[in-house]
Amino acid sequence: MKSGSVTCCTFSSFCSPLPNAGEGLGGEGERAVTQQKSSGQDKAIPSLISRARELRHSDTLAEKLAWRLLRNRQLLHYKFRRQLPLNNAIVDFCCLSLKLVVELDGAGHAHESQATRDRQRDRELERGGYRVLRFPNGIVLREFVREIRECIAQLEQARLNELRH
């Protein structure tokens, strides 16, 4: 995926096994039924915030493992949040200082209709300046930290290059 002068990792080359039935389904990328606009900015509304709280209590196994790796600034001292309402969606993980969104995709994301919705949602987030990384649930154990570190290094290098110019 390309955004500005930074190319973040794409994961289409990984052949990860699909998760077991029920893993990763439900909640990922949930949209609010309604949306408030104030001063031209999208704001999370109470129903979206409430849904995000519910999702934090019903993590998939992959989300639990990823959160153990990302929480408490364990990954290069960056703060990540989980099940964060962002614009009109709920993202699995987000580092606001890097504008980096990490999504874990279960079996439901392999269906074309869901994949289309995911691409549309990714474009909306990218228009807001966010970079989106998507991982199949099966990759969390094997490649997750290495790939996120690679992307963070690219983002940090881009930031340094912007400061130099």
Q: Which domains does the chain have, with CATH numbers?
A: 2-11+29-164 (3.40.960.10)
Whether the pLDDT of residue 22 is over 60: the answer is no
- The string over 55-79, giving b where at least 16 C-beta atoms fall within 10 Å of a residue's C-beta and e elsewhere, is bbeebbbbbebbbeebeeeebeebe
Whether the pLDDT of residue 5 is over 70: the answer is no
What is the rounded average pLDDT for all residues in the chain?
74
pLDDT at position 105, please? 86
- Please tell me which residue, 38 or 43, carries the higher pLDDT value: 43
What number is the average pLDDT over the span 10-31? 35
CA distance 9 to 42: 28
Q: Where are the alpha helices (DSSP H) in the chain?
A: 46-56, 61-70, 112-127, 144-164
